[in-house]
Amino acid sequence: MRLTMISYAQNDVLAGSLDGQKAFADLLQDTKISAEPEVYFLDFASIDVATTSFLRDSVVAYRNHARSTWHSIYPVCANLSPHVYEEFHSFLTSRGDAFVICSLDSEERIDNVEIIGKVDGKQAVALRGVLDLGEVDAQSLRAHMRENVAPTAWNNRLGALVAKGILIEIGSGRNKRYRPVLEGLCYGT
């Protein structure tokens, strides 16, 4: 599903907390919940600038709400201008948060998939393991990473990455598997 951010704006600048809160409410209204995991692309095409306060109160608030309430919705930002990229990356890094971004064309082809912001410590270790393997459960990740850490700790790390919308959780109960939210996801070097 693609939600175009220009439709939540008066012009090509997304600014201010109040406009961000309004966009958040509109994003919620435009979301249709499915039973299966679904990526929602927040498309920034035609947006030149977005302020931190707007991004915080719309995009990040939407991601946090989606991940804590709906569980099947995975927001990803698409087509960020250089100004929006810089503002969003700086904001996310300053608060130790991360977001998946990509390029998305009119044919729904996805390219340039990456994580901006910062994934800290043990979550970064878990993320690198998932990126190496593609789809994992906590036990196979533990074996791959060769760290003497209980599967519960791996599940906690993976769960934190799911909460950020970086990984998709598949299955339920004790049989959870995890994979990147988009194919070709890259993080760091």
**Amino acid letter at 87?**
E
pLDDT attached to residue 50? 96
**Gap between the Cα atoms of 14 and 130, Å rounded:** 34
Query: What 3-state class would DSSP assign to 49?
Result: strand
pLDDT at 173: 65
pLDDT at residue 149, as a whole number: 78
Q: What is the pLDDT of residue 92?
A: 97
User: Do residues 73 and 95 make contact, with C-beta atoms less than 8 angstroms apart?
Assistant: no
Q: What is the DSSP string of 119-181?
A: --HHHHHHHHHHHHHSSB-HHHHHHHHT----HHHHHHHHHHHHHTTSEEEES-TT--EEEES
User: Residue 174's pLDDT is what?
Assistant: 72
Structure tokens at 74: 């995975």
Q: Counting every residue, how long is the chain?
A: 189
pLDDT of residue 175: 78
* pLDDT < 50: residue spans in the chain: 189
The predicted pLDDT at position 141 comes to 84
Whole-prediction pTM: 0.92
DSSP 71-113: SSEEEEEE---HHHHHHHHHHHHHTT-EEEEEEE-TT--EEEE
